[in-house]
Amino acid sequence: MTPALVCERLVKRYGDKTVVDRVGFHIDEGEAYGLLGPNGAGKTTTISMLVGLLRPDEGTVRVGGIDVGEDPVAAKRLIGYVPQEIALYPELTARENLRYFGRLYGLPRRELTSRIGEVLDLVGLTDRGDDKVGTYSGGMKRRTNIAVALLHRPRLLILDEPTVGVDPQSRVAILDRVEALVGEGMSLLYTSHYMEEVERVCTRVGIIDRGRVVADGTKRELVAELGGTDRVELTLDGDVTAAAEKLRAVEGVSESVVTGSSSIRLLVAGGRHLLPALLAAIGDAGAVTGVEVVEPDLEAAFLHLTGSTLRD
């Protein structure tokens, strides 16, 4: 079976800065693939090359077996692309926006009207479809942004952080729709700052850091790389920076990062047994108010591979 997407050794440079450095991965037909990476890792730049908006300096992209560089029009027909920023005409209604882009994707007029009804229903905006997009809330704009990409029933859906600024309820609704579409056989490329979204929707994950894919596999495979390392979440009152510094020196601690004004995340080999040593190391830098030891998970794998947290 032809993979939905294959990209190989993609390179993009701006001046002497290489922002995408030999990125390669593949997405099988019907598979949901997540691309995880901190801010500025090169996710959007990679996606721009996948959907034919940006010409790679090196490397190739094939969508459904079609080379994007050679036959961009045919390749783009297979892709539904949801840009990271809202890309809609604020002075038009959602229906008018959908009609315009639907026509650009070559949908015949007759079919278009009913299809617009379907996608509006899909994103839960049926009763607001005739209001100007400029009057929408952030979440409604996001949902319309997604609806546009679904009009032509793409084989591969590419979502670049589709849930930013969406309230938890709508986010769940969006994830449900996306899962349903994958269930119906659509392939998916998903980037997000929310680990739990990627964990829920995607079966395979690529981790990208400073322009490079540092790991790629199923959740289970990535976590296995951690070996016996546990994730420890500490809550404390006091100087978190100083505490994190002290913890880093403890034997068995491989990562120690500040995740909030009173929280620290650690990667610890043989977690539980090391707890007394950890508490002792903090000493007078702060008073520990909470400790949580978590089985190895994607969050831990991410920290292990990139030395940073996903959200900052």
Partner 1 sequence: MGKSTLRALLVVGGHELRSRLRDGTAPLIALVAPILLATLFGLALGGDDDPPLKATIGVVDLDGGEFPASVQREALNTDELKGVLTFRQYPDEAAARSAVDGGESGAALVFPAGFSEGVGAGRGGQVSVLESPESPLAGVVARSMVDRISALVQARTLAVRASLEAGVPADRVQLFVEENGAAGPALSLVGDPVSGGKVDLAVHYGAGMAVMFAFFVVGTTARSLLTERQNGTLDRMRAAPIPLWTALVGKSAVGFGLALLSMCATWLSSVLIFGASWGDPLGVFPLLLAHVFAATAIVMLVASRAKTDAQADGYTLGVAFVFAFLGGSIVPAYNLPEWLRGVSLITPNGWVSAGLSELAGTGAGPSAVLVPIAVVTGIGLVAGTVALLGFRKGRFA
Ligand X SMILES: Nc1ncnc2c1ncn2[C@@H]1O[C@H](COP(=O)(O)OP(=O)(O)OP(=O)(O)O)[C@@H](O)[C@H]1O
- CA end-to-end span of the chain: 40
Please report whether residue 204 would count as binding ligand X according to CB under 6 A: no
Considering only residues 44, 144, 145, 163, which one is a binding residue for Mg ion as defined by CB under 5 A?
44
Q: Which of 6, 49, 88, 120 binds partner 1 (CB under 8 A)?
A: 88
Decide: is 70 part of the binding site for partner 1 (CB under 8 A): no
Q: Which does 55 bind (CB under 5 to 8 A by kind): Mg ion, ligand X, partner 1, none?
A: partner 1
Residues 86 and 179 sit within 8 Å (Cβ to Cβ): no
Interacting residue with partner 1 among 9, 103, 273, 311 (CB under 8 A)? 103
Task: Give the binding range for ligand X (CB under 6 A) out of 38-46, 103-111, 242-250, 252-260.
Answer: 38-46
| In the block, residue with structure tokens 């996306």 | 178
Binds 45: which of partner 1, ligand X, Mg ion, none (CB < 5-8 Å by kind)? ligand X
Please write down the long-range contacts of 213-221, taking CB distance under 8 Å and 24 or more positions apart. Answer: 213/23, 213/24, 213/25, 214/305, 214/306, 215/301, 215/305, 216/25, 219/298
The window from 42-50, 148-156, 212-220, 221-229 that contacts ligand X (CB under 6 A) reads: 42-50
Closer to partner 1 at the Cβ: 90 or 227?
90
Q: Is 65 a residue that touches partner 1 (CB under 8 A)? A: no
Binding-residue total with ligand X (CB under 6 A): 11
Give the footprint of Mg ion on residues 81-110 (CB under 5 A): 84
Nearest-CA neighbor of 32 among 189, 175, 171, 149? 189
CB 13 within 8 A of CB 50: no
Note whether 139 binds partner 1 by CB under 8 A.
no
How many Cα atoms within 13 Å fall on the side-chain side of residue 181? 30
74 touches partner 1 by CB under 8 A: yes
Strands 17-27 and 79-82: unpaired
89 binds ligand X (CB under 6 A): no
42: left (phi > 0), else alpha (psi -120 to 50), else beta? left
Q: Is 50 in the site for ligand X (CB under 6 A)?
A: no
Q: What whole-number distance in Å separates Cα of residue 274 and Cα of residue 112?
A: 62
The pair of structure tokens assigned to 153 is 């029933």
Do the Cβ atoms of 4 and 187 come closer than 8 Å? yes
Closest CA to 144 of 82, 208, 54, 210: 82
Q: Of 36, 56, 94, 101, which one interacts with partner 1 (CB under 8 A)?
A: 101
Nearer to Mg ion, 39 or 241 (CB): 39
Which is nearer to partner 1, 74 or 291 (by Cβ)?
Answer: 74
Q: Does 45 contact ligand X by CB under 6 A?
A: yes
* Piece of the chain touching ligand X by CB under 6 A; list 32-40, 197-205, 219-227, 272-280: 32-40
